[in-house]
Amino acid sequence: MIKYIIRRLVMIIPVLVGVSILAFLLIHLIPGNPAVAMLGERATPEQIAHLEEALGLNDPIYVQYGRFMGRILHGDFGRSIHSNSSVLWEMGVRFPATIELTMAAMFVAVVVGMGAGIISAVKPNSIFDHISMGTALVGVSMPIFWLGLMMIYLFGVQLKILPPSGRLDVAITLERVTNFYVLDAIITGNWVAFKDALLHLVMPAVALGTIPMAMIARMTRSSMLEVMRQDYIRTARAKGLAEKIIILRHALKNAFLPVLTVIGLQFGYLLGGAVMTEWIFSWPGIGRWIFLAIGARDFPIVQGGILLIATVFVIVNLLVDVLYTLVDPRIRFD
Amino acid sequence: MKKINSKLILLLALLLAMSLAVAGCGGNGAAPDQDQAGNDQPQAAKEKVLVWGRGGDASGLDPSNVTDGESAKVTINMYEGLVAYKQDSTEVIPALAKDWKVSEDGKTWSFFLREGVKFHDGTDFDAEDVVFNFERWMNEGHEYHIGGEFEYWGYMFGGYPGVVESVKATDQYTVEFTLNKPMATFLANVAMFPFGIASPEAVKEFGEDYFKNPVGTGPFEFVEWVPDSKIVLKKFDGYWGDSAKVDKLVFRSIPDNSARLMELQAGSIDIMDGITPDDVATIKSDDQFQLILRPSMNVGYLAMNVEKEPFDDVKVRRAVNMAINKKPIIDAFFAGLAKPAKNPLPPSLWGYNDAVEDYEYNAEQAKALLAEAGYPNGFKTTLWAMPVPRPYFPQPQKIAEAMQADLIEVGIDAEIVSHDWTTYLKKTESGEHDMAMLGWTGDNGDPDNFLYVLLDKDNAVKGSAGNIAFYKNDEVHDLLIKAQQEMDQEVRADLYKQAQEIIHDDAPWVPMSHSTPPIAAKKGVSGYVPHPTGVESLVTVDKN
């Protein structure tokens, strides 16, 4: 197992090198000169030339790539073209926000999705089954921006039970240690901020979690139904085991594997797909940051951001594979 | 196997329990808190916090190294320059300098500084600090010419070092600038937000990271910046002038326009900008809000390429001016939030010639003029429309269609042409168009910044033209150059008024509109005066 994990970790390196090359080239394929984009409509040709020189945009691409990789290996992701602040610092402020949101969304998705899926599978074709699967279908096809705005309007403006957007009320000050607000609130024992941060998480997490929730529900249901037809379930029933134990201990364990795959994949997608949610809920995360940087042709941010997301994606995949072996010992990787 | 199994169930149970806890919090725990924030009664007694909601975050808080409005809106509250603009116009008033004088030849500017001014870090302000700041901006070899490109210095003063030959402190509270040529716009330029004086101690201490540790002399000092989320400033107790009315200023970035409006409705922000025209009606109809219009400092226009037939004929250009009916276009596509333009200058600028009478909308007379010019049956041409909305043309394609419809009435068959934005700018700068829509937002409130940039023959150079009508009139050129070298503002205003009359007669443009961007605030917010530049201090703003 350890050997397998180490081998997978080593394999991550060429993958990331590949990603870095792609990220680098993609950016050079985007039309528009970054120097022009940065200086705006009023730049003179001299100013553009001056800036191109300063940014090293005149060197051959492989020289630029070499310089880029060299810096990254030293932990230097460069400075934002727009704000001139360190990309690593900007990442450090925003990345925890996205991870916190994504985890909360996955939490909602897994709990509600699996719960609904299990009940639906246990009572197929019941009213609950129809309602939850119908809702799941709507959930998959629901545009996040519409759902998000409706939620803000209903819970934030009309009912006033949830804060409309942001991560924390402006009146609350929270000492930042990790930039995971919920965690920071616990570390510093700031329970007002803890509650407020959780409340701020509810709506964006539900909005972002809707699609994976629906997919997990559908996957759990079909996988459970499949398993429930198996002989050993019939045997268990024949032996007179309690239905609860059959479902939770015998069926769910075996039905969990494909669901785990969906969870792993969705987690990766959520990271990149949080843009819309972060936009609507003014969530200061990585998705919105990269999105704006692409529009502004802020190369160092786009490059750093893509590398970051790719790294997390690869690590999540690894974790899912390792979890497989824990859930189902029949799967062996070495 | 059994072990894992029970662990899994335990985990699921835990997750379920936590989700119930969270849901519980959401259900009842939040309500009282939210109400407090909503009606502000308990908070008002403690601390007055004004929350400004806007679409984007600042890119940096060192004004000399930013060019975006979102940064400027924040830094203007922390920094002061030698001079400033009046609260509601672009007239220059004293700030850190209480007085100034310029030599006969226009090359030596002396500023007499205010005494007893302190920076937020507690250091005293004097002439050496001004010298440090200007040398930092203008000399590329300066040790602290770091942390950015200092673009605005280059734009406004002609490069690095540009027009300024030297800046020195002649005594503790006097600074003397020597220019290598007279520059009438010097004072208006120095009043711009990028030229706020920073604490040299702080610049030296933070180096490249000064942009997130700003220290100025303004009415508010920096507290905290959470990127993409909020910037918090608090009232500076050591401020030399009238102190701020609110204790704290918070700038929140809420990128989505609809979500921002809902935040205002929910009561979690006090004032917001970036309102979509569609939402103006909502704000007007809700009596808990006030709609504030920013005085315009922009112009949207239709430029006719005078180097191409038939626009080389002044009669044709006047006919086009008479053919386009501006009022209905403004009502329909600006949500009424614009004024019809008759000059290239917006009316909020000094030097605006209100005596100029706009061409009256009159299709019959336009047709007669066209016939006189030799086009009794009209002609075919192209009308270039911008692909992106700008403040001066919020819906350019629709506006282009409306103009097209007006033109066909008098027999001018204009085909609408569009390119992506970069290409559009490049091609219009090269004069490939017949007629093209474009606009301009002023930089510094000087008429030169409109008339010289947009209509002087110096700027009608193919490839980099600001004057995309390629309008060349020597008389106008002489007036504008004379105005650039004249130091007396009244004399300058008169020269600009003459230029506007000639331009009106020559009609190289159809000046279309001066848009007035809307701002929404809660009813209790008072003392807010929107500035034409879009950048204003919130020192006089109060809320109850």
Residue A43 has pLDDT above 80, yes or no: no
Q: Which positions 66-95 of A are in contact with B (Cβ < 8 Å)?
A: 79-80, 82-85, 90, 93-94
CA angle, B415 as apex, B424 and B396 as ends, to 5°?
A: 50
Are A189 and B298 contacting, i.e. CB atoms less than 8 angstroms apart? no
Structure tokens at A126: 């019941």
Q: Which of B35, B66, B229 faces A166 most closely, judged by CB atoms?
A: B229
Cα dist from A226 to A129, B2, B160, whole Å: 16, 22, 74
Question: In the prediction, which pLDDT does B22 show?
Answer: 42
Whether residue A196 and residue B15 make contact (CB cut-off 8 A), yes or no, is: no
Of B501, B493, B517, B467, the C-alpha closest to B343 is B501
For residue B23, pLDDT over 50 is answered with no
Q: Determine the Cα–Cα distance for residues B373 and A52; give it in Å rounded to an integer.
A: 49
Between the CA of residue A270 and those of A102, A316, B18, B503, what are the distances in Å? 6, 12, 21, 57
And the tokens for B137?
A: 């901006």
Residue A149's pLDDT band (cuts 50, 70, 90) = very high
Interface test with A, best of B54, B229, B441 (most A CBs within 10 A): B229
The secondary structure element, H or E, covering residue B298 is strand B298-304
Percent of chain A exceeding pLDDT 70 equals 92
Task: Tell me how far apart the alpha carbons of residues B277 and B288 are, in angstroms, rounded to a whole number.
Answer: 19
The pLDDT of residue B19 is 46
More confident residue, A230 or B196: B196
Give the closest of A84, A166, A292 to B211, CB-based: A84
Q: With contact defined as beta carbons under 8 Å apart, do B77 and B539 qualify?
A: yes
Q: What is the pLDDT of residue B461?
A: 86
Q: Which DSSP helix (H) or strand (E) runs through B384?
A: strand B379-384
Q: What is the C-alpha radius of gyration for chain A, rounded to an integer number of angstroms?
A: 24
Taking the CA of residue A236 and the nearest CA in chain B, the distance in Å comes to 16
Residue B120, min C-alpha distance to chain A (Å): 21
Range in B8-12, B20-24, B59-63, B426-430 with the lowest mean pLDDT: B20-24
- Look over chain A and give the mean of its residue pLDDT values, rounded to a whole number: 85
Question: Is 80 exceeded by the pLDDT of residue B6?
Answer: no
Q: Is the pLDDT of residue B215 over 90?
A: yes
Q: What is the pLDDT of residue B44?
A: 43
Q: CA B481 to CA B452: how far, in whole Å?
A: 8
pLDDT of the residue at A42: 59
pLDDT of B38 > 50? The answer is: no
- pLDDT over 80 at B379, yes or no: yes
> What percentage of chain B carries pLDDT values higher than 70?
92
Coil, helix or strand at residue A225: helix
| Model pLDDT, residue B4 | 43
pLDDT the model gives residue A38:
63
For residue B41, is pLDDT > 50?
A: no
Rounded distance, CA A330 to CA A253, Å?
Answer: 13
Residue A232 has pLDDT above 50, yes or no: yes
- For range A311-328, the mean pLDDT: 82
- Which positions ≥6 away from B383 have C-beta within 8 Å? B302, B400, B403, B404, B407, B414, B415, B416, B417, B434, B435, B436, B437
Are A170 and B232 inside 8 Å of each other by CB? yes
Q: What are the residues whose beta carbons fall under 8 Å from the beta carbon of A77, sequence distance 6 or more?
A: A71, A86, A87, A88, A91, A300, A303, A304, A307
The CB density around residue A332, as the number of other CB atoms within 10 Å, is 10
What pLDDT does B76 receive?
96
User: In degrees, to the nearest 5, what angle opens at C-alpha A50 toward C-alphas A48 and A51?
Assistant: 65
The mean pLDDT of chain B is 88
Q: With 60 as the cut, is the pLDDT of residue A56 above it? A: yes
Examine the pLDDT at B29 and tell me if it is beyond 50: no
Q: Is the pLDDT of residue B17 over 80?
A: no
Q: Does pLDDT of B1 surpass 50?
A: no
pLDDT for residue A214 is more than 60: yes
Query: In sequence order, what DSSP letters do the residues of A242-256 get, joined into one string?
Result: -HHHIIIIIIHHHHH
- Residues B541 and B247: beta-carbon distance below 8 Å: no
Confidence band for B2, pLDDT divided at 50, 70 and 90: very low
Confidence of residue A11 (pLDDT cuts 50, 70, 90): confident
The answer, yes or no, to whether residue B421 has pLDDT greater than 90, is: no
Average confidence (pLDDT) over A164-192: 90
Q: Using an 8 Å Cβ cutoff, are B532 and B299 in contact?
A: no
The residues, ordered by sequence, that sit 6+ positions from A130 with a Cβ below 8 Å of its Cβ are: none
Contact B483, B496 (CB under 8 A): yes
Give A333's pLDDT tier (boundaries 50, 70, 90): low
Let me know: does A92 contact A51? Beta carbons within 8 Å.
Answer: no
Predicted confidence at residue A255, as pLDDT, reads 85
Question: Which tokens belong to B510?
Answer: 């159809």
pLDDT digits (tens, 9 = 90+) for B393-404: 988 999 999 999
Which residues of chain A have a CB within 8 Å of the CB of B229?
166-168, 282, 284
CB of B185 closer than 8 Å to CB of B195: no
Residue B541 token pair: 């703003």
Reply yes or no on whether the pLDDT at A23 is more than 70. Answer: yes
Measured between alpha carbons, how far is A91 from A204 in angstroms, rounded to an integer? 20
pLDDT over threshold 90, residue B436: yes
**How confident is the model at residue B115, as a pLDDT?**
95
Neighbour-count burial of B133, counting CB atoms closer than 10 A to its CB (0-12 exposed, 13-18 middle, 19+ buried): buried
Q: What is the DSSP string of A49-102?
A: HHHHHHHTTTS-HHHHHHHHHHHHHTT---B-TTT--BHHHHHHHHHHHHHHHH
Contact across the interface for A170 and B230, Cβ inside 8 Å: yes
Helix axes A144-151, B257-266, angle to 10 degrees: 10
Q: What is the mean pLDDT of residues B11-15?
A: 49
Q: What pLDDT digit, counting tens, does each position of B222-266 carry?
A: 999 998 899 999 999 999 999 999 999 999 999 998 999 999 999
Of A39, A170, A281, the CB nearest to B151: A39
pLDDT of residue B493: 93
Q: 10 Å Cβ neighbour count for A20?
A: 18
Q: Please list the residues that pair with B412 across neighbouring strands.
A: B379
pLDDT at B21: 45
pLDDT at A311: 86
Q: What is the rounded CA–CA span in Å between residue B432 and residue B423?
A: 11
Phi-psi region of A290 (alpha: psi -120 to 50; beta: other; left: phi over 0): alpha
B405 touches chain A (CB under 8 A): no
Q: Which residues of A touch B22 (CB under 8 A)?
A: 198, 201-202
Tell me if B262 and A198 make a contact (CB, 8 A cut-off).
no
The residues pairing with B514 across neighbouring beta strands, listed in sequence order, are B339
Do A165 and B22 make contact, defined as CB atoms within 8 angstroms?
no
ipTM for this prediction: 0.85
Specify burial of residue B289 (Cβ count, 10 A radius: 0-12, 13-18, 19+): buried
Say yes or no: B268 contacts chain A, CB-CB below 8 A.
Answer: yes
Give the pLDDT band (50/70/90) at residue A27.
low
- Would you place residue B177 in the very low, low, confident or very high pLDDT band (cuts 50, 70, 90)? very high
Q: What confidence score (pLDDT) does residue B503 get?
A: 96
Any idea what DSSP says for residue A155?
I
In tens, the pLDDT along B75-131 reads: 999 999 999 999 988 889 999 999 999 998 889 999 999 999 999 999 999 999 999
Residue A180's pLDDT is what? 92
Contacts of B505 (CB under 8 A, 6+ apart): B314
Q: Do A202 and B148 touch (CB under 8 A)?
A: no
Residue B36: pLDDT over 50: no
Please tell me which of the candidates B9, B67, B259 has its beta carbon nearest to residue A248: B9
Smallest CA–CA separation between A153 and chain B, in Å?
7
Mean pLDDT of B328-344: 90
Strand partners, B164: B179
Residues within 8 A of A (CB atoms), B 41-60 only: 43, 49, 51, 56, 59-60
Flag if B22 and A115 touch (Cβ within 8 Å): no
Percent of chain B with pLDDT over 90: 66
- Average pLDDT on B56-70 reads 89
Distance from the Cα of B75 to chain A's closest Cα (Å) equals 14
pLDDT of B39 over the 60 cut: no
Low-confidence winner among A67-71, A259-263, A326-330, B24-28 (lowest mean pLDDT): B24-28
A330 in contact with B, Cβ within 8 Å: no
Per-residue confidence at A130, pLDDT binned at 50, 70, 90? very high
Check whether B12 has a pLDDT greater than 90: no
Average pLDDT over residues A158-172: 90
Residues paired with B84 in a beta bridge: B93
Write out residues 195-254 of B within 8 Å (CB-CB) of A. Answer: 208-209, 211-212, 224, 226-230, 232, 250, 252-254
- pLDDT value of position A237: 85
The mean pLDDT of B13-26, rounded to a whole number, is 44
Which residues 67-96 in chain B show a CB within 8 A of chain A?
A: 67
